[in-house]
Amino acid sequence: MSYIEENLMNGENILYRARLHWVMFLWPVIWFIVAIMFFSRGGHAAGTAGCLFILIAIAKAMSSFINFSASEFAVTNQRVIAKVGFIRRNSLEVLLGKIETIRVNQDILGRILGYGSITVSGTGGTRDQFHNISDPLELRRKIQEQIAILQKP
């Protein structure tokens, strides 16, 4: 059972789930390509450098995979829930009525590939930012829809 499902309140339903974007695996791939380039040159120094870059690629890939698998984002009929991290956990649980702003930041690559950062600002000045969210505009739209439903008389 996921973190979000374990922490649902009575009568609370998950309406939308978001994930991290695959772009977080881009750096491990780049390190792997660099390692291949060193191996193709031949020689002892190039082979040693290639081994080093392979180790870096594996470490980065494992870190990215753990972050990807251990991150959860959801919009329910009552709140926004986000959990990032495996050992060092960062979680956000904000009632929809307490959200003041939702900011989406996307650079050019983020707009092309469909990922970005979400910043949720709650009453009292709390501000939580989550990076590499897949389709952040859709997540913002789902949150805004639920806020509008709650505000209807």
Every domain of the chain and the residues it spans: 14-20+76-151, 24-66
The pLDDT tens digits for 28-84 are 999 899 888 888 887 888 888 888 989 999 999 999 999 999 999 999 999 999 999
User: Model confidence at 90, in pLDDT bands (50, 70, 90)?
Assistant: confident
d(CA 83, CA 70): 8
d(CA 66, CA 151): 38
What tokens does 129 get?
């930012």
CB of 76 within 8 A of CB of 12? Answer: yes
Cα 133 to Cα 24, 45, 84, distances in angstroms: 10, 39, 11
- The predicted pLDDT at position 114 comes to 96
Q: Rg of the chain over CA atoms, in angstroms?
A: 20
Q: Which CATH number fits domain 14-20+76-151: 2.40.50.140, 3.40.50.300, 1.10.940.10, 2.30.29.30?
A: 2.30.29.30
- The predicted pLDDT at position 89 comes to 87
